[in-house]
Each structure stands twice: as C-alpha cells, then as structure tokens.
Structure 1
Amino acid sequence: MIAKDVRERLAIILPLTFAFFLAWSFRLFGFRDAVLSVLTGTAPANVIPSPVSEAAFIQQAVLVEFPAPIDYSPIQEVCGRTPFRPGLVFTCEGQHGGIGMLRNQMLKCIRYAIHGGGALVVPSIALRNSKDLKDIETAIEMPLEYLLERETFKKYLTAGCPQMKIYDHVEDVPFYSQRQGQPLQLLGDQFEPDHPRTGLRHPRAWRQNFDGWLAKQDIHLQSERPVHIQMEQSFLEYPVRDDGDAFVHEFGKILSFRKDTRELAAKVLYELRTRFDLPIDPAVAINPGAYYGAHLRLESDAIWAWPPSEWRFSRMHDQFEEQYRNVKRTGLRTVYVASGNQTVVYMFADYLAKKLGSDVRVVTKQDLLQPDDMQRLAAMTFDQQALVDFMVMFKASAFMGVAHSSFPWNVALRRHELSRYAAYANEGSDLLRDEYSIIMGMAADYPYVDSFVTSIWP
C-alpha cells in the first residue's frame, strides 16, 4: 500500500515539477520564441537574438539557403514511377539568362531527363557578355560551378533520383565514342507546340511522345551504342505543380548557390545586424522587424527588354512609388536594395528620403562589406554578384519586386513556402502578395505576364 501511495504521489508531483520548470524556461530563456521560430521558420518580431561571434553567425546563415533542408522523398517518388534505361543520355548545355531564369531552365531540363529515363550530364552555363548585359547567350560555355555547387548538385540529385546516372562530361558516358549518330536536339515543348501560356497540358504524356519520336527516327536504345539528346532552351512551358506541392518545394534544392556567394551574403547580414542593431537571427529564414528588401529592375538590359513606353513598371517613377508605398506600410527603416545600376540606387535613396525622412537607411552590399570582402565581390561577374543579393533578399523581413523579372519571382516563391496562405494573393490584388513578399501590380499593369507562377520551381 505504501509503495502504491508513493507511486500515485510521484505521478502527480513529477508532471507539476516539469510544468513549473517549463514555464520558467519560457520566461527566462525565451524558449517559447525558440519553439515558434522552429515551427514557422521565422524569428519573433523585434527580439534581438543573443550575441554570437561573427564566425558563428556566418556559419549558421550560410546553411539557411531554403526555408527547410531538402527532403528527398518527393523527388524519390517521382523518379520511382519512371522506368530508367541504359543507352540514353541528356545534356543541358549552354543554359542562359539571369540566375532566376537560368536556374529554372536547368531544373526543367533535368525534369525532362527524368521523364525520358536517361542519364544526365551536369548542366553548363552560357557566359553573359560583361560589356552588353542583354547579350546573355554568348558562345563561351562555363561549368556549373560558375554559379552553383557541382558536388552538392550531384550528391542531392543522386540521393533524390538514385536510378539516374550523372556524369561530369558527356565523354564520360560508357561507349560514348560508339554513340548512334550525332546528338539529337530537342525542345521541351516540341510535342505540344500549341500549349497555353500556363504550360504543357499533358506533361506526363511526355515520355510516351518522346519514345514515339525516337522510334520514328529508327533509334533503338543499346548500352553499347548510346543516344545523346541535347535539350534546347524553351521558355516557361513546364507546369511545375503537376508533380505536387511537395515536389515543387524540394526539387529546386538540388541546385545550391556557390558557397563563397552565400558567405558574402552572410557577411552582409552580419553587418546589417551589428551596424543597425537589427533583430537578425542567422539560424532562421526570415526575421520580422529587421530590414526591407527592394529589387529594382532598371538596368540597361531590363529597359531594352521591357521598354518603359509599354511597360508601366519599367518606368523609374512608377517602380519607385510602388516600393515607397510598401516601405511606408511596413514601417521598416532599413532598406536593402538589389540593383545592377548604382545610379538608380542613389536616386531611389533620395526619393525615399524626400518621402519618408532622412532616417531611412538605404544600403547595398557594396555599402556593407568590409574592404577584403569588397575585393572578393569586385572580382565576381554581374551574375555571380546577383547571388549575394538573392540570399539577402530571401531573408528580408519584407520584399518587393516587379512581375516581368524571374529574379523576384524566385525570391518571392521561395519565401512563400513559409506563408500561412496557400494562394498567392490573399492580402491584396497584386500578382503575388502574402505576409512576406509582394510582386507589384496586377495583370492589367503589364502588356503580358509570363507564367512565372506556374512554371518556376522556388
């Protein structure tokens, strides 16, 4: 009886003791906020994290490239329903564009290779002309590591799609010297040339159409006589959500930005935190109440591609005004700007100062990096430097960009994974508007809106 009485008392006392300890942990150590930040992927607003060394800060920030670490299971599921076969290799050569479009084009090419059930050669990149930004398709071919991490790509894609063989060079493919004829060029939408702007109507019929196309050319796959398929670059035609939301969230994670650019972005975040006493926790994706991210698309190539006479938000005043209204709405006083035109940044800073007062700080990566890191940045090309801005924008408390550029769509769609909204426009009439990001304007504000929402993996 005594033992039973002790057990009954312990059954009452132990839970009460644990509850008391937990309650005081919540108050003394901010445990509640830590739990919430883990569950939501964001830090609590206006709470400055405990001080950490610069090295520890950078190490943590570099690791937060996506809202959550990669989950291979959705990729494995898609690859698992595809029969792979030897004697077939796909290449994604000379992919071109800014980082937003370039990255998506690579992912799309890889998705077609999965459909086809063949091996893959690590994609390559066409170098942009440094003297003419609109010339994005030069004959100079760069390896994947020009912008992205090669070994990470191979590791992640192998884990997600173990049936797919991956080669660094097409010549590494077994028996490639005995291949069947010359490489065959293929457009992703070649079998559905009349598809709507939202993308292919029947993406899962691609394999059947592809096999029929091969058969018409009297090609029979053989291990000792491989067939080389060169995927050409079509534009925003693949409906990414066909494979399900889980796949959409995970597939893009196989492409990771160069580590040195992520380190520079982490140093920018550290400087923002220390110089302006901002509540930036490097271990979480988005920190409320810290800084505003403004992507200004007013470089020479943008004005050439989307002339202001036809595109409202190619007009400097209209783009500035929309950003100003959003900065005012958020109440944030530190504005980080991404733009390839420094003169535009100065003009935007003057515009905000006149509208909101001189206490609004407008800064760029060039303003924040230390001299040694500035030298590293200056040695990088236009597109490599854009990776730094991408990562800083991804982690901004609020973000805004235009609808005719893939860069802000990539940023906003990646951030949207943390949103409590499923749809893209629950807080207003902008093309995308959630609690973290805005793609400014409505469809009526643009001559046409490309299918970024339906055709981009975040």
Structure 2
Amino acid sequence: MLAKMLNIQNKYQRPVHTLLIWTSVTFILVGASTYFLSQRPAIDYFPSPKSTPGSPSNATNPLLTEEGIDQLILDHSFPRLGERANFTGLHQLCNSTKWQKHVYWTCTHNMGGLMNVRNMVLNCVRYAIAAGASGLVLPQIEARDPTVLSKLKTGDSQDISFLFDRAWFKEVMQENCEQMELFDRVEDITNYGYAMMPDIISMQALMGQPLGNRHGLLRNKKPEEFRSRFDQVIKAQTRRPNEKFPVIIRLDDKALFSFPPAFDPPAIANNFGFILEFRLDLSGLANIIVDRVRQALNKDDGKFSEYVGVHLRSEADAGKYWASWDELANSTLSVALDNKIRLIYVASGDADGVAKLTRKAEESGIRVVDKWSILSNDEQEFLHPFRFDQQAIVDYLALMRSDRFVGSGQSSFSSHLIMRREFLANVSLAEGNHDDDYGRRDQLAGPGRLGYWDMDWP
C-alpha cells in the first residue's frame, strides 16, 4: 500500500519537477538574454555630444535671457553669406549618387581651430555623400582644452551647435540631399548597438596611402577611386548591411585636408562650404561690431572710412616658423599708413601682443580696437563664457568685412579668410556689385601662404 502510495505520489510529482526545471531554465535564459542584449558593443564607440547650455536668466542683462538672445538674432544676424549660395550642384550630386541602404556615417573626430574644424566637418559630410551613406549622424566637435589650447584631443564631445547653426545645416541638407537621412544621435539609428564595423576607418589606409599627420599625407590623391574602394570594404563584411545589422562608419581624425574641393565642379566646390553657417548669436555680435566700427569711421564726415583687420596670431601655440609678432605688426601698420587708414581691428588671444600693437599704432596716430573694446558691458558678459574657438567666430566675421586684411599665411584661420575674401570679391564683381567689403588688396605676413590652402572649402 505504501509503495502504491509512493508510486502515485511520484506520478503526480513528476510534472511539477519538470515545470520547476523548465521555469528555472527559462529564467536563466531570459536573464542571460537580457544581460547580453544590454551589452551593446557599439555604444561605447560613439561619444554622446553635449548640447550647448542655455543662458542663465538675468533680469539686468537681456542677453542672458532667451528673449534677449532671440531679439539679438532677429535684429542683427541676417542676412548671411549662405543665403547667397546656390546649392543646385549639391542637389544634382545627391540625385546622381548611388545610395546604399543601412549604411550610416558619423563625423565625431572634428578638432582644432575654428577653420580646421569647419574643413573636417565638410570633408566628412562630402565623403558621406560619396559613399552613398543612407544616413548621417549630425557631426560632433571635440572641443580643445580651454586652458591649454595646443591640447586638441580631450574627449570633450560637443554638439554641432557648439560652433555652427544646426538648424541651417539640417535645412540645407534635407532640401538638397534628401536621400541621406539625418540623425541627431547615433542612438536614433535602428539597431545601432548591433552595427558592423565598430572600428575607426583610416582614409589614408583605405586609399592605400602612407599613414601620417603631415598635411601632404592627408591629401586624397585619387578621390575618383574612393567609392569603389569603399564598396569593397562593405562587400567584405560578414553579411550584407540590413536593418538588424547596419554598418556605421567612423572616420579617424585625419580628414582635415583630405578631400580636394577641385575634384568637384565649380557649382559644387564654390557652394558646398555654405552648408555650414556660424551660430546665430555670435554672428549677431559680429555684425554689431562691424556696424559700430563703420559708425565711428563715418562720424567725422567720412574722413576715415576704412579699417584694417589683422589676425595677430602670436599666441603661445603659434607655429615656430609662422609670422612673428614684429612681422604682423609692421605689415599691418604699413598697410594702414600707406592707405591713410586710421583704425585697426585686431583679432588675437594674445592680450600682451594686442596691448603692444596698440601702443605702437598710437605713435602714428592710429587707433586699435578689438571685440572687447567695442562691445557693451552686457554684450561682453554674454560673450565671456564662450570658449576660445567660439569667440573666434566673432573675430572671423568682423575681419571678413574689413577693407583690408593682414594675417599669417601659415595659419588656417588667416589663410581661409584670404581665400574666402578673394572668392566673395570675385563673385560680387561677377554680379556687378562693387560695394561689397571683401578681398581688397589683402596681405599675408611671414613665410607666405599655407601650402594646402587649396584643400580648404571656400
């Protein structure tokens, strides 16, 4: 009887044991799956950019309120050069490109001075189009160390709005290259955590060129071969890119002078650079400076109607063989005296150098001003917290409008100013406009022009 009872008991216990076993196995599998799914390998490869913080509220300074900034932008930030650009060439380029599904492009390693960052971003976007990438994550900017300007690799990843007008970039690209979807963050790409090709791509290695940081090594000598070489990389993946396993491309930090603008026809090369416009608030401050300089020049019956702009590139991180302070100062004063100009606008992070130039110019009856001496206390309070390269936007735009310009030919900032002023002067003359303040007999001090200025986008 006991045996029968045990048999009956075991008979009914067996399914319970089985249920417990399967429940335990299921729990383990679910737990393991949850763990491994949470370990998305690509997440750590893509830095999360910081958005530019909003200004704190301060009732005594309208520029420290959102309403005050909006009014500044409305009153002073328009029109902009990009509004004159013709993006027909870009539109045609995108229409003729063979696009690849589930291939996405990121531009995260854009670092250095203002013009270098700009050219890196433009090159990265241009390569994304050449690759036929179906999506582009908005470019990021790696901000350099605020105290040690020569320290570029900081890991301080910023949103594109750190320097540029985010809304303008998106609008131009969506209107003229709608085939390439834009993503605010890499996390917005479906299944980004399972992306293939998590490693950084070296454009030099891809193009079969020697590796290195020297400018000459950065130049893509055979841009016409890029697409076929890139397609081979995609074909070499373990599976065809698809929604579940997309390909996400990351370029290395050597895209500065990589894509030659001359490879494109003028309709593209002359306008592509205008997909980037500087942020509106700092553009507005620059226009305020130019307006006040013009007012000061014309208040004495137009006696002094012009001003010389100088990029006094004499900061501690200036190149050893660049134009010296003496060369820049002497060239600037020579231009001013030869043309009977009595006002110099100086852009520099070298406070001692600016003070020395001011004293030297005063001996010849020439006044020296900079952004800090022109802006009001409220405007200075607004500008002061911005980083060095952000403040450079104000100087760049003020120098762009100067009647004459002097700079160091080995500086990408000065070299690009010369190039863009020349370009805009030619455009204005072609349009029959002789009144634009661009490119009038500019001068570079020191050892001449940057050897790779032709690799900059106008």
> Per the shorter chain, which TM-score range?
0.7 to 0.9
Asked if residue 450 in structure 1 is aligned to residue 451 in structure 2, the reply is yes
Larger Rg: 2
Q: 1:122 corresponds to which residue? A: 138
Structure 1 residues 268, 457: closer, same or farther in 2, change over 3 A?
same
Q: Deviations over 1:112-158 (max 9, x none)?
A: 11111111100111121111111122011111111111111111111
Matches within 5 A, 1:222-261: 222-234=242-254, 235-261=256-282
Pick from 414, 419, 425 the counterpart of residue 419 of structure 1.
Answer: 425
Q: Deviations over 1:83-109 (max 9, x none)?
A: 112111111114111111001100000
Matches within 5 A, 1:71-82: 71-82=86-97
Asked if residue 92 in structure 1 is aligned to residue 107 in structure 2, the reply is yes
Shift of the alpha carbon at 1:249? 2.1
Q: 2:150 corresponds to which residue? A: 134
Structure 1 residues 174, 330: closer, same or farther in 2, change over 3 A?
farther
Q: Distance in 1 between matches of 2:118 and 2:292?
A: 28
Asked if residue 352 in structure 1 is aligned to residue 361 in structure 2, the reply is yes
SS in 2 for 1:107: helix
Structure 1 residues 421, 439: closer, same or farther in 2, change over 3 A?
farther
Structure 1 residues 301, 214: closer, same or farther in 2, change over 3 A?
same
Asked if residue 62 in structure 1 is aligned to residue 67 in structure 2, the reply is no
Q: 1:47 corresponds to which residue? A: none
SS in 1 for 2:271: helix
Letter of the 1:133 counterpart? L
Q: 1:400 corresponds to which residue? A: 406
Q: Distance in 2 between matches of 1:312 and 1:339?
A: 15
Letter of the 1:65 counterpart? R
Pick from 167, 184, 187 the counterpart of residue 171 of structure 1.
Answer: 187
Q: Deviations over 1:150-188 (max 9, x none)?
A: 1111111111211111100111012323323x5231123
Is the CA contact (8 Å cut-off) linking 2:290 and 2:398 kept in structure 1? yes
Q: 2:27 corresponds to which residue? A: none
Structure 1 residues 316, 85: closer, same or farther in 2, change over 3 A?
same
Is the CA contact (8 Å cut-off) linking 1:98 and 1:383 kept in structure 2? yes
Letter of the 1:174 counterpart? T
Q: 1:325 corresponds to which residue? A: 334
Is the CA contact (8 Å cut-off) linking 1:295 and 1:338 kept in structure 2? yes
Asked if residue 151 in structure 1 is aligned to residue 167 in structure 2, the reply is yes
Q: Distance in 1 between matches of 2:349 and 2:292?
A: 21
Q: 1:375 corresponds to which residue? A: 381
Is the CA contact (8 Å cut-off) linking 1:65 and 1:391 kept in structure 2? no
Which of 213-222 and 194-203 deviates more? 194-203
Asked if residue 271 in structure 1 is aligned to residue 292 in structure 2, the reply is yes
Letter of the 2:204 counterpart? D
Letter of the 1:456 counterpart? D
Is the CA contact (8 Å cut-off) linking 1:262 and 1:388 kept in structure 2? yes
Structure 1 residues 121, 57: closer, same or farther in 2, change over 3 A?
closer
Structure 1 residues 278, 257: closer, same or farther in 2, change over 3 A?
farther
Structure 1 residues 198, 352: closer, same or farther in 2, change over 3 A?
farther
Q: Which runs of 5+ in 1 are unaligned?
A: 1-54, 280-287, 423-432
Is the CA contact (8 Å cut-off) linking 2:346 and 2:370 kept in structure 1? yes
CA RMSD of aligned residues (A): 2.7
Shift of the alpha carbon at 1:408? 1.4
Q: Normalising by the residue count of structure 1, what TM-score does the alignment of the two structures yield?
A: 0.75
Is the CA contact (8 Å cut-off) linking 2:200 and 2:249 kept in structure 1? yes
Q: Distance in 2 between matches of 1:210 and 1:272?
A: 51
Letter of the 1:275 counterpart? A
Pick from 362, 370, 382 the counterpart of residue 368 of structure 2.
Answer: 362
Structure 1 residues 252, 231: closer, same or farther in 2, change over 3 A?
same
Letter of the 1:419 counterpart? A
Letter of the 2:138 counterpart? V
Q: 2:397 corresponds to which residue? A: 391
Is the CA contact (8 Å cut-off) linking 1:122 and 1:166 kept in structure 2? yes
Is the CA contact (8 Å cut-off) linking 2:322 and 2:410 kept in structure 1? no
Is the CA contact (8 Å cut-off) linking 2:82 and 2:274 kept in structure 1? no
Q: Deviations over 1:271-316 (max 9, x none)?
A: 212333279xxxxxxxx943211111111111xxx12xxx151x22
Is the CA contact (8 Å cut-off) linking 2:282 and 2:393 kept in structure 1? yes
Q: Distance in 2 between matches of 1:58 and 1:278?
A: 26
Q: Distance in 1 between matches of 2:279 and 2:72?
A: 18
Letter of the 2:246 counterpart? P
Pick from 105, 109, 129 the counterpart of residue 124 of structure 2.
Answer: 109
Is the CA contact (8 Å cut-off) linking 2:410 and 2:450 kept in structure 1? yes
Pick from 342, 346, 351 the counterpart of residue 337 of structure 1.
Answer: 346
SS in 1 for 2:317: helix
Shift of the alpha carbon at 1:326? 2.2
Name the % identity: 26
Is the CA contact (8 Å cut-off) linking 2:403 and 2:439 kept in structure 1? no
Shift of the alpha carbon at 1:189? 3.1
Shift of the alpha carbon at 1:417? 1.9
Letter of the 1:351 counterpart? K
Which of 194-203 and 343-352 deviates more? 194-203
Q: Deviations over 1:183-229 (max 9, x none)?
A: 23112333141595693232122010111123234452223321011
Is the CA contact (8 Å cut-off) linking 1:401 and 1:440 kept in structure 2? yes
Return structure 1 stretches of 4+ with deviation > 4 angstroms: 55-61, 194-198
Q: 1:440 corresponds to which residue? A: 445
Shift of the alpha carbon at 1:57? 11
Q: Which runs of 5+ in 2 are unaligned?
A: 1-69, 429-437
Is the CA contact (8 Å cut-off) linking 2:421 and 2:439 kept in structure 1? no
Is the CA contact (8 Å cut-off) linking 2:146 and 2:387 kept in structure 1? yes
Q: Deviations over 1:221-247 (max 9, x none)?
A: 223321011011213122112112221
Structure 1 residues 73, 366: closer, same or farther in 2, change over 3 A?
same
SS in 1 for 2:104: strand
Q: Normalising by the residue count of structure 2, what TM-score does the alignment of the two structures yield?
A: 0.75
Is the CA contact (8 Å cut-off) linking 2:297 and 2:305 kept in structure 1? no
The alignment covers a number of residue pairs equal to 370
Matches within 5 A, 1:3-82: 62-66=77-81, 69-82=84-97
SS in 1 for 2:406: strand
Pick from 177, 201, 213 the counterpart of residue 221 of structure 2.
Answer: 201
Q: Distance in 1 between matches of 2:413 and 2:425?
A: 19
SS in 1 for 2:155: coil
Is the CA contact (8 Å cut-off) linking 2:138 and 2:184 kept in structure 1? yes
